[in-house]
């Protein structure tokens, strides 16, 4: 199970990234306040960007000592992406995502400064049939590895990858890239869930992820703080057992 457990010196509490997938900044602040010190790292994505006060929320999180992952998946003309990445630097964002070809990833990496750029491999909401619909005539795992190799060559700091593909990633690029794994489900996946390629907390880290992104299993829990604390305890046990 723990063959590929991350050797990086990352504070255990930071390995859980909470996805703030809520309709507006006020709901996000309420959730963060309810979670308290159970979560130190937050993903702020497109829904909140479109709702307004995105950077006000980012600043509010930073003032409270939180780390911020701006998940906006930049995909545009390379120079435009580079300018967008530079603009993020002034907001204290820790991670940001980029999508696209080599030139786009290179532009983002060249402009990143202290910001860590993560390249998207294959969204966890896509399966083999979806890739074929998009015109990719290859296996999911092959596309993930190709994207990871290109991200590393382009100067990116890491990749976004389902935990299912992380063992192959670790064999291919070792720990040269950070791996952030979304699509985490503590229990069996529901049929109404749009995430298709999912893993548990233990599977993701045992397969080699450095960070996991969890949203609905915490947000929609009867007691979100308790759910976050339970996830943190599972992570602590996993790394504690491996390093004892």
Cα 16 to Cα 149, 216, 226: the distances in Å are 25, 13, 14
How far is residue 150's CA from residue 146's CA, in Å, rounded to a whole number? Answer: 6
List the catalytic residues.
73
- 157's tokens: 């700091």
Where are any strands of DSSP class E within 92-197? 95-98, 116-120, 158-160, 178-181
Q: Is 214 helix (H, G, I), strand (E, B) or coil?
A: strand
Shortest CA distance to 35 belongs to which of 13, 50, 56?
13
- 127's tokens: 């399966």
Judged by phi (left if over 0) then psi (alpha if -120 to 50, else beta), residue 155 lies in left
């Amino acid at each position: 199970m723990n063959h590929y457990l991350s050797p990086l010196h990352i504070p255990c509490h930071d390995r859980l990234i909470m996805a703030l997938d809520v309709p507006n900044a006020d709901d996000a602040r309420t959730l963060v306040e309810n979670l308290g010190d159970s979560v130190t790292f937050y993903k702020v994505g497109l829904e909140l960007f479109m709702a307004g006060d995105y950077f006000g929320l980012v600043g509010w999180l930073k003032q409270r000592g939180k780390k911020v992952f701006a998940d906006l998946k930049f995909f545009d003309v390379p120079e435009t992406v580079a300018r967008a990445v530079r603009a993020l630097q002034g907001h204290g964002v820790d991670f940001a995502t980029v999508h696209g070809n080599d030139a786009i990833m290179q532009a983002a990496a060249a402009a990143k400064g202290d910001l860590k750029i993560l390249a998207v491999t294959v969204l966890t909401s896509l399966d083999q049939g979806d890739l074929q619909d998009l015109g990719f005539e290859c296996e999911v795992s092959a596309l993930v590895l190709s994207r990871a190799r290109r991200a590393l060559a382009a100067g990116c700091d890491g990749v976004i990858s389902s935990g299912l593909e992380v063992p192959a990633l670790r064999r291919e690029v070792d720990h040269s890239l950070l791996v952030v794994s979304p699509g985490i489900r503590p229990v069996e996946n529901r049929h109404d869930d749009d995430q298709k390629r999912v893993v548990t907390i233990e599977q993701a880290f045992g397969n080699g992820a450095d960070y996991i992104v969890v949203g609905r299993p915490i947000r929609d829990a009867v007691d979100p703080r308790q759910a976050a604390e339970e996830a943190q305890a599972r992570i602590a046990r996993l790394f504690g057992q491996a390093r004892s």
